[in-house]
Amino acid sequence: MSRANPATTHQYAGIAAWNVKLRAEIHSYDDARKFLGDQKSEKLSAHMFVLTTDDYATIDIVLYSTTILRYTADGKFWADNGGYNTPTTTQRLNMLAPGPWQFAHSKKRLVGWSPAELCLQSTYGSRKIVSGE
């Protein structure tokens, strides 16, 4: 029985990343709040949920068990890959990020940029506010 080489197991992971249908377009706190309505959590797609706190101060977009985006009521957001440098995480971030923000992985770092703001990097697995500081 042969085993998959761990170095190549993600070479085709992008196929799964591109095949997703979201139940709503979310690019801001207001979009997420509208999607939730009076609920505290709602399924966005396969393996993705939108969750909020009791007071709706923050709204998280969760992929599997990792919060990849957090929107706050004051217009800030942060992105995190949770240490998962995968095409799926990158694609979901790019599908849900606000405005012109784009994300990619480079050397085990999540990198985010916007034409209007400086490029900020989040080290492997750490959390970093990327907008509104």
- Tally Cβ neighbours within 10 Å of residue 58: 19
C-alpha dihedral, 81 to 4 to 7 to 101, nearest 10°: -30
Residue 58 exposure: Cα atoms within 13 Å on the Cβ side: 9
9 occurs within a structural domain: no
79 occurs within a structural domain: yes
Q: What is the pLDDT of residue 31?
A: 97
pLDDT, tens digit, 9 for 90 and up, residues 91-119: 999 999 988 888 888 888 888 888 766 54
125 occurs within a structural domain: yes
50 occurs within a structural domain: yes
pLDDT, tens digit, 9 for 90 and up, residues 17-76: 667 889 999 999 999 999 999 999 999 998 999 999 999 999 999 999 999 999 999 988
Range of the structural domain that residue 29 is part of: 14-131
102 occurs within a structural domain: yes
Count how many domains the chain has.
1
Question: Do 131 and 114 contact (CB within 8 A), yes or no?
Answer: yes
Alpha helices, H only, 1-133? 14-18, 29-36, 87-96
Instruction: List, in order, residues 6 or more apart from 39 with CB less than 8 Å away.
Output: none
Q: What is the pLDDT of residue 130?
A: 56
7 occurs within a structural domain: no
The type of residue at 78 is: W
8 occurs within a structural domain: no
Three-class SS string for 82-115? Answer: CCCCCHHHHHHHHHHCCCCCEEEEECCEEEEEEC
The tokens 């849900």 sit on which residue?
Answer: 96
H/E segment holding residue 128: strand 128-131
61 occurs within a structural domain: yes
